[in-house]
Structure 1
Amino acid sequence: MDQHRFTAITLTVTEGSATICFSRPDVHNAFDRRQREETVTALRLVAADPSVTALTLTGAGEADFTSGQDPAEPVAPEEAAAWMAEWGVLYEAVLALDIPVLAAINGFAAGAGLQVALLADVRIAADDARLTLNEIDKGIPVITGTELLAPLTSQSLIQDMALTARVLTGRDALFAGIVSRSVPREDFAAAVRELGQQLAAAAPEAVRLNKAWWRARRGEGLGLALAEGARAHPLAYAAWAERG
């Protein structure tokens, strides 16, 4: 087993299967700039390692996948466009991988943290996991989240989640098509391990061709959403700041 040293995440490679674990449990595994940068570095290490045939994304502990943007790292309106660009680099690094990516949603997945899970090829959730796009509670529009959810579930549910910060359990998310598997908490670790092994054993060229086709089908949608986010988020953060 190889483990690369980081401070906000862990990257472990075992028998060709890599795991990136978001590891800031004291703040619900929330993303700050360091965690974004370390995740991108880890994703690039995975992409450069020909022995790795699958990647699992998960969170430290059982309570949290990742709660998204760390509120202790506030975003000033004048910094919002650059902040969106940082998220864009991370998102594109996930999508660029030619191996299967599994999101193991072990707990709370919120905002941009949920969006990271939505970038994966396969999503498995614990039955009692909680998924939410709660940006509205922070004065932020859900733009990239809308784009990533659009192929998966109904527009009515997306708008409900975006406007009310509605929380879905893992079971709810399965019913809505947002995850493909939901399992009881006591079976979660074993189910993730088994599914990860199955994905790692998949024919690599067939996987690569599948993923190339899926990227082509995705087209420019995410890029357009990131560009719109860079335009809209400074306005949203400025309006939120005026509210005090």
Structure 2
Amino acid sequence: MMCNLRMCMLIFISLFIGLASCGGGGGGGGGSDSSSTPTPAALLWSPGLYTVDLTPTGGETERATILVASDNRVFYGVNNGNHAKVGTTLGNIVELDNVAGPNDLSTLTLTSATAGTFALSFDVVGDESGTFAIVTDADNDDLYNSGSSFASLEGTWVDNSFTELVGVSTWVIAADGSYTVDTAVGGSGVCSATGNISLIDATKNAYASVSTLINCGAEQNVDPSLNGEYKGILFVTETNFLGDTLFGAASILLSNGSIFTIVSVPVKQ
């Protein structure tokens, strides 16, 4: 059958599109194109406890703990205690300092299942960036899956490790998760806090907290702007035995747009 020029061009274009949609029409029994690359599974910060070694560019490696809760809340703390942050996860990225607001955002980004890059900003130690590696630690799974309950928290806890801000602090946690924190700083109005702890998932070792810091001021040598509501996350770990130590942090968005984080490691008495 003869065709005019326009019709022949339409037939040619239709055939070309049809072949292209079939992967170029490669011969040999209609098999799939062997040059195609399977799409890798998405990298995710799955809920759990992680031990990571961070190596800043030009610096020394330091070890940190990351808790990713099932509601995407995150706690990040360097194990020697010189800084900590709270945040959330977004796929393969941990975003820190964003519980109270988006300012001074820090990130840890997975580039593989066991490694990634980080960019962290700290008031004390400055900005750091580099790479991190996830350290295999079988105890982390057991610890995260050990569950959570108010009964295990009820009682008196004392933090004599992180005393830079208000000295030794004493936590009294009630059976319903409400708590008070009294500090060692003196003055007519003692710097203290009240708050509530809530269970995120009773089958997992992770707790959320909301607290209000009050009565802090110049008399206690504390910046009064630090008074206010803090949001945080914590988990139970061990100093002498499992369940005798809380490890966590909470943040507040200050009026100047910066974020202040308090880290706590109270031990049960």
Q: 1 or 2, which has the higher helix percentage? A: 1
Pick 1 or 2: higher relative contact order, CA cutoff 8 A, min separation 6.
1
- Work out which of the two has the higher radius of gyration on C-alpha atoms and give 1 or 2: 2
Is this a same-fold pair by TM over 0.5? no
